[in-house]
Amino acid sequence: MSAVIRLGTRRAPRLALLGTGVVGSALVGRYQRLQARGVALPAFAWIANSRGVVEGEGDLHEGLAQLRAAPANARIVPPWAEADALDAGDIVIDATASDAIALRHAEWLARGVHVVTANKLGRGADLLRAQAIAEAAREGAACYGDSATVGAGLPLLRSLRALVAGGDAIASVEGVLSGSLAFLFHSFDGRTPFSACVRQAREAGFTEPDPRIDLSGEDVRRKLLILARAAGVPLQVGDVRVESLVPQVLASASDAQVDALLDTLDAPLEERLHAARAEGAQLRFVGRFDARGASVSLQALPAGHALCGGAGTDNRVAIHSDRYAQQPLLIQGPGAGAEVTAAALLDDVLAVLPGRASLAA
């Protein structure tokens, strides 16, 4: 029997899932496994993507299949999300990468609707938008669960916020923040062209369908902005210097041309690899902020550097603060993958529910 929360005479909170790609599908699968174990979860009222919407009653996997098979629809935000169908206490799960959906976060929060998200365009885009989200959460007495936006649920944001709440000043944060780029530079050994590593990562689902999104450094910029703002540093988008790995010919290519032009990555990155090895160093794509500024770039790091450990898609982040001045707090773990991201989203859903540890707004 499905485990659904009942709150006496008060209507139980409902779930609304936006996004039915790999993360959304993994979330539905984990939701059903948790239910089977007796974990009490709210019922789905809606599941939607850019093609349409299905009611949450009935077989969830059948609903996902219907949405995937539906014809394309120009409407990005489903009608129920634009109207007043959502009530205070309901929970929206944003498993998209849509700017149009991220624009709705503050509106939902102000109405008392909780938002749980893997979408980095809420707190990782314009600073005014991030500030509006925080203010709306306070006004609406709603929670904003964003642990899936950085580190796929690793305790990065939670640790930073706990340090700040404890009075620590954050001196610096630096890390390998992209699971896809971590995989690429763990795999790239000079024997296989970098372009082949990119194709392998894409086929494994570690990169976006268009790998230029990962290789441009924009994804890492957004994550760095989220971390900095959690640490109390109000960085603007333009404050972060970003080194893109994408040559101009590839950057300007159409979607259909991307795969054929991935080979343009090979020569410059092979040169960077040889130069790093000549110095006994390793290549890592690093995001960092401190008192001097913020940057996202490919770096040649000494083999003993704190960010050179890990394997596969591991994120590895070093936090220097008052209490971690001499030796940083290191947080490491898988930073990409639908299953860990889905688990982080449902962790945040559970944290919203009455009687559980609450989320910071």
Which residues are tagged catalytic? 223
d(CA 234, CA 229): 5
Say if residue 122 is exposed, middle or buried (CB neighbours under 10 Å; 0-12, 13-18, 19+).
buried
- For the chain, counts of helices (H) and of strands (E): 15, 12
58, exposed or middle or buried, with CB in 10 Å at 0-12, 13-18, 19+?
Answer: exposed
Query: Which whole-number Å values give the CA distances from 72 to 51, 100, 333, in the listed order?
Result: 5, 17, 37
Radius of gyration of the chain (CA): 21
Q: What amino acid is encoded at 140 in this protein?
A: G
Taking the C-alpha atoms of residue 124 and residue 157, their distance in angstroms, rounded to an integer, is: 13
Between CA 14 and CA 46 the distance in angstroms is: 9
Angle between the N-to-C axes of helices 22-36 and 60-69, in degrees from 0 to 180, rounded to the nearest 10:
170
Backbone angles phi, psi at 174, to 5 degrees: -140, 145
